[in-house]
Amino acid sequence: GAGVSQSPRYKVAKRGQDVALRCDPISGHVSLFWYQQALGQGPEFLTYFQNEAQLDKSGLPSDRFFAERPEGSVSTLKIQRTQQEDSAVYLCASSLGALEADTQYFGPGTRLTVL
Amino acid sequence: AQSVSQHNHHVILSEAASLELGCNYSYGGTVNLFWYVQYPGQHLQLLLKYFSGDPLVKGIKGFEAEFIKSKFSFNLRKPSVQWSDTAEYFCAVNAPSYNTDKLIFGTGTRLQVFP
């Protein structure tokens, strides 16, 4: 595709529900990143993959957050037992992964609202 | 703690005014520096980046930024803003010496340009 796509664009969940957010990176991009952006804040790093390997998950806020990229392409971010503080925009980005200072290309985000 | 600071949270300018947005970071060692822009209703896009060489970097739409290592700064400038520059601007840093490709973002600066 032309860019990074994410689905759904909007998700409303009741507290305690599990949600799954999908990211389709730019074709051929090796690296894939997840960020969380709270209202009025900059994006905060959650985790990233190089192909199917999860190289850094230091930003995941709790063990309720889980990400996978089993075939090195599409990625899913899963949040179990959602809480109100999980309400945010979840951004996915991808990059070629070949060089330092690779540009990360961002998707439109999924806005999660937990009631 | 590692951080990125954007001191201007909200800037209001008239068209043709000059712009300078501040960005400071607190990493030691080698850094790669980025400015991203988010126009209303759109996703994050790269404006410019610095990773080595000439510390004065030129980006799209007439923007430029200067890396001053001694001041840990990477300020964004534009000599004459347009109404279409109304957007949120994010400074971001990647520190390869920390063995990760993640970006650390500032909290963003909201720019409003009035005709």
Handedness of CA B5, B95, B89, A5 (dihedral sign): negative
Q: What are A15's two structure tokens?
A: 């507290």
B103 contacts B4 by C-beta, under 8 angstroms:
no
Q: Kindly list the distances between the CA atom of residue B103 and the CA atoms of A6, A47, A95, B95, in Å, as whole numbers in the listed order.
A: 19, 11, 12, 8
**What residue in B sits closest to A3 (Cα-Cα)?**
B43
Report d(CA A16, CA B104) in Å as an integer.
30
As given in the structure block, the two tokens for residue B43 are 């996703």
pLDDT tens digits, A31-70: 999 999 999 899 999 999 999 999 999 999 999 999 999 9
Average pLDDT, chain B: 93
Q: What is the pLDDT of residues B22-32, one digit of tens each?
A: 999 998 788 89
Given A4, A31, A42, which is nearest B105 (Cβ)?
A42
Q: Do A43 and B100 touch (CB under 8 A)?
A: no
pLDDT of res. B76: 97
Strands B109-114 and A19-24: unpaired
Question: Residue B100: its pLDDT value, please?
Answer: 77
Report chain B residues whose CB lies below 8 A from the CB of A102: 101
Neighbour tally for A2: CB within 10 Å = 6
CB environment A72-90: b (16+ within 10 A), e (fewer):
ebebebebeebeeebbbbb
The answer, yes or no, to whether residue B84 has pLDDT greater than 60, is: yes
A107 touches chain B (CB under 8 A): yes
